[in-house]
Structure 1
């Protein structure tokens, strides 16, 4: 076996090591660049809209519009009138370790902009209550809240007639709300009528598992190439230290 120092300081080994350093710098740099792109795209999707200035609900979603996925948690203003005899609760929904209910009322919107002047309504989560039979508001509506999509886990409702729903599924409200509903509900931020504890809005949408997946796969590819370069260099070094094989005659 040749002298280790002579091998390590030899021209071949130094050249191979220099190539390794260059390859590691390139592969690792590209991998980190793709990884940063993956993180940036996911951060952009889970952005928090709750601090933006509120806009009228009717400017964000109309009567027949699908829910605007980019506006989850956006502050909106609701103007109109409370629809009588349409209050209900959703739950049980715990709040700070206590069991209770979301208190919901339906507001008929004004100035919907519908060409046929069809009335449109929206469910509004007024707050939280330990009482499943709270009072309902009446009169004009003028509040700010956070836009949310309807829930839909298909939780079973054992008694559809008791106005106690397991989730805020908009399709389930058609039997008690005689006015067209928008494809959303609002979590009130400043509704003082019933003096209920506020319900924290779920204002950050979940990030899909496939978001920026291509960037992540590219990053893994570059890191694997960097690892491969290390393996090749290690094999080269072992062969250099072992020296030329003796070929038997």
Structure 2
């Protein structure tokens, strides 16, 4: 019966994890309904955890000569490049890294950069506060160059000399400037915890049934010796 109790305990643990993920998903959903922050409020942020995924509407100037293309990124199941460009926030010395969108890559000439339109002058960017772009496994040392696998905020700040904020902004909206912005929806994966819990509870039931069969029921069906 120890095995039954153990599997029940593991099932309950998975349900507790699911409850935590549900609470996190509710927090993410709530963040999306909060008022958008402007550039000054974004620069003044001190607690990123409390404002992650919150909407922003910031004005500033693109720094197109610092644009980086992140390789092997998918959107709608198609491989391509994420385009990341620093934005100097208007009225501030702060610079925020903006994940501007996705663009297809030229697979015949992988060194050829895609054609993009980067507006000059003051622009307004709508987006969500986001962590730095997800890191992919890469062979070798640090990433460098215009086309690279990963981008670390601290390392990129040292590389460029830009006073980058400790966050990025994921630009949202319809496709424009040659970029697609159909970002994957942020999820918490709560479904897998429910699935694991079901498996553990089902296993506990199976173990209990086998115990009852072999230790109790089967004895009544055993042939009696003469």
Q: How does the TM-score come out when normalised to structure 2?
A: 0.61
Q: RMSD in angstroms over aligned alpha carbons?
A: 4.8
Structure 1 match to 2:109: none
Structure 2 match to 1:146: 128
User: How many pairs align?
Assistant: 206
Task: Choose from 24, 30, 36 the match for 1:55.
Answer: 36
The one-character-per-residue Cα deviations of 1:97-134 (angstroms, maximum 9, x if unpaired) are 6554333221123577xxxxxx2211112233344353
Structure 2 match to 1:204: 186
In 2, Cα distance between the equivalents of 1:225 and 1:109?
A: 60
- The answer to whether the 8 A contact 2:174-2:181 is kept is no
In 2, Cα distance between the equivalents of 1:100 and 1:244?
A: 73
Structure 1 match to 2:81: 101
Structure 2 match to 1:126: 100
* Shift in CA distance, 56/239, structure 1 to aligned 2, threshold 3 Å: same
- The answer to whether the 8 A contact 2:66-2:86 is kept is yes
Structure 2 match to 1:165: 148
Deviates more, 1:165-174 or 1:94-103: 94-103
Structure 2 match to 1:90: 70
Distance apart, 1:222 and its partner CA: 9.8
- The answer to whether the 8 A contact 1:89-1:102 is kept is yes
The one-character-per-residue Cα deviations of 1:80-112 (angstroms, maximum 9, x if unpaired) are 333463333222534456554333221123577
2:15 pairs with 1:39: no
* Shift in CA distance, 142/184, structure 1 to aligned 2, threshold 3 Å: same
- The answer to whether the 8 A contact 2:99-2:171 is kept is yes
Q: Which has the higher strand share?
A: 2
- The answer to whether the 8 A contact 1:107-1:141 is kept is no
In 2, Cα distance between the equivalents of 1:31 and 1:153?
A: 31
Distance apart, 1:199 and its partner CA: 2.7
The one-character-per-residue Cα deviations of 1:215-245 (angstroms, maximum 9, x if unpaired) are 95xx948963784376246523333455998
Distance apart, 1:33 and its partner CA: 6.8
User: Any gaps of 5 or more consecutive residues in structure 2?
Assistant: 1-7, 105-112
* Shift in CA distance, 171/152, structure 1 to aligned 2, threshold 3 Å: farther
Structure 2 match to 1:180: 163
- The answer to whether the 8 A contact 1:91-1:102 is kept is yes
Distance apart, 1:153 and its partner CA: 3.6
Q: How does the TM-score come out when normalised to structure 1?
A: 0.56
2:208 pairs with 1:228: yes
- The answer to whether the 8 A contact 1:127-1:198 is kept is yes
Structure 2 match to 1:77: 57
